[in-house]
Amino acid sequence: MHNMVKALIKKELLQFLSIYTIDKRKGRSRSVGVTVLLLILMGYALVSFAGMFFMMYSSIAPAVAETNENRLLFAMAGALTIAVSILGSAFTTYSVLYKAKDNELLLSLPIPPAKILSVRVLTVFVLSLVSCVIAWTPSLIAYVIFIGFSPAVLVGHFIMTFALAAFASVISSVLGWLIALVTGFVRNKSLVTVLLSVGFIAVYYGFYFRMQSILRSVIANMDRIAEAMHGWAWPLMQVGRAASGEILPLAAITLIAAALFILMYVVLSKTLFGVLTASGKVKKAVYREKEAKAGTAAGALLKRELMHFVSSPVLILNTGFGVLVVVVGAVVAVIKADALKDLLNGSSMPFFMTAAAGVLPAAAVSMVMIMDCFTASSVSLEGKHIWLVQSTPVPAKLVLRMKELTHVLLNAVPGAIAAAVISYVLRASLAEAMLSALLAAIFVWLNAAFGLMMNLLKPNLEWTNESVPVKQGLPVLFTMLFGFGSLLVLAGLLIGLSLTVGTIPALAVGCAVFALPAVLIDLWIGSRGAERFRHIS
């Protein structure tokens, strides 16, 4: 039985390392040099995150030292560590416990479920431990540099690393269970995944952009924080005392963490496999006889592309996120209209941006839309089944046009509306608002055409996961680089012309300049591009 557990642990380790050792696009092992390089890059990323936390603690530590409450640093670091570990591990915990691809296989083997669960729980703990080390260890370094060193602090901090990881594992497991429970009773699981992912991104960037103001507020209100730690935030102060090496709090927190971790294991042993084997109670569709109506080939192809988009979280998050950003940006512009106008009219803004404010909405929306590269992976996403669409009695030109139209509908329409709304907020004329909307739509059209051309020139049908062509494909990279280059040309052209001939002529010229290459690329797609598509295999 001991060998069985070792084999399961080895399997989990190899599966985790497969990201670095296996090229999933080609289905073969990476070279030793590439694997080492990827591991070095990952190590660099982890050290960079740790450095960010160290800078944060280094800003707080001198203010903590002045309060004579040195334990405050560890108390605040403990709260941040648990929060970061939960945010970083909730979805991973859900995947490890409930969405592992080999769950059904392992359950069908003569392996006691308790052994499978113990390895899964150990994996969750290790993932939480890595997050805790990254966010927690820098607090010790800052403490030693700005406050002082003692063996008791070193021992206490080390033990609390594992205790905090246990707490984070328990909370992450509860959240993972909730995610599994919700997705088990929802028909459109991809929508739930997208909403949860967007929520995580919103929380992350909300904290990231407000980090400096949060730090200034913490440093300015250190006395009040100390009072809170002795009042309603008393548990956090015990974390600080334990990390400082005080025996009683250290022993109590360690025992509580161990007890909660064991309780989590017991509860999972009673509920995990029930959730894995549950079919859910999603309301079944009821068949109703009705007359079928024949549709057009174009309509069927367009529906096919749209259905693929909405059913794939990878596509939505990577090729549709810009839509969410411009919609939110337009809403914020309406709510914060006065602040936006004051910003553009303020003395801190460069003269040319203030004078060319009428062309900024189109440029801003175009900048955001660069990140949406649906067409740059749309051909590759056909994968090994591309022969199905090639063999249908539909012109290849029409297939490609519907891929491009999908990109335009998903991005150009909300982009144009956002540009018009922001122009209205800035008190632009009706003509300026309409031209801004048209220019944003044409910019999206140009990127859609260019991305489709790049994917026709460099398709990748040998993938095992959609994220490979969507996130790692060369056509996506080239399309984004082309988008940024075009944006620089657009910004220079609009600002230069608006300062000389006015906003309306500048926007009109911008529309003409970017519509021309879009038309030329579309002509190529309809002729040589369609011929290439017919022979891709």
pLDDT at position 58 is 87
Same domain, 362 and 409: yes
In the chain, the amino acid numbered 60 is I
pLDDT at position 96 is 67
pLDDT surpassing 60 at residue 467: yes
pTM: 0.64
Of 281, 378, 288, 367, the closest CA to residue 329 belongs to 367
Read off the pLDDT band of 517 (50, 70, 90).
Answer: very high
Same domain, 242 and 317: no
Same domain, 423 and 507: yes
DSSP letters for 244-271: TT-HHHHHHHHHHHHHHHHHHHHHHHHH
Residue 263 included in any domain? yes
Over the stretch 293-322, which tens digit does the pLDDT of each residue have?
A: 666 888 888 888 888 888 777 777 778 878
Same domain, 360 and 257: no
Measured distance CA(253)–CA(478) in Å, rounded? 53
pLDDT surpassing 80 at residue 501: yes
Residue 347 included in any domain? yes
C-alpha distances in angstroms, 535 versus 84, 130, 391, 401, 456? 49, 48, 11, 17, 11
What is the pairing mode between strands 28-29 and 22-23?
antiparallel
Residue 139 included in any domain? yes
Residue 181 included in any domain? yes
Task: Answer whether 497's CB lies under 8 Å from 512's CB.
Answer: no
In the chain, the amino acid numbered 337 is A
Same domain, 379 and 507: yes
Percent of the chain with pLDDT over 90: 14
On average, the pLDDT of the chain sits at 79
Measured distance CA(327)–CA(365) in Å, rounded? 10
Domain total in the chain:
2
Over the stretch 262-297, which tens digit does the pLDDT of each residue have?
A: 998 888 777 666 655 554 454 555 556 666 566 688
Same domain, 211 and 347: no
Measured distance CA(454)–CA(448) in Å, rounded? 10
Read off the pLDDT band of 162 (50, 70, 90).
Answer: very high
Same domain, 130 and 195: yes
Task: Answer whether 436's CB lies under 8 Å from 343's CB.
Answer: no
Task: Establish how many alpha carbons lie within 13 A of residue 136's alpha carbon, considering only the half-sphere containing its beta carbon.
Answer: 28
Same domain, 471 and 419: yes
Of 84, 427, 58, 78, the closest CA to residue 257 belongs to 78
Handedness of CA 395, 400, 402, 405 (dihedral sign): negative
Residue 362 included in any domain? yes
Residue 28 included in any domain? no
Show the domain range for 66: 49-276
Same domain, 270 and 307: no
Read off the pLDDT band of 104 (50, 70, 90).
Answer: low
Same domain, 319 and 454: yes
pLDDT at position 384 is 81
Read off the pLDDT band of 525 (50, 70, 90).
Answer: very high
Residue 35 included in any domain? no
Residue 323 included in any domain? yes
Same domain, 194 and 154: yes
Same domain, 359 and 269: no
**Is 348 or 125 the better-scoring residue by pLDDT?**
125
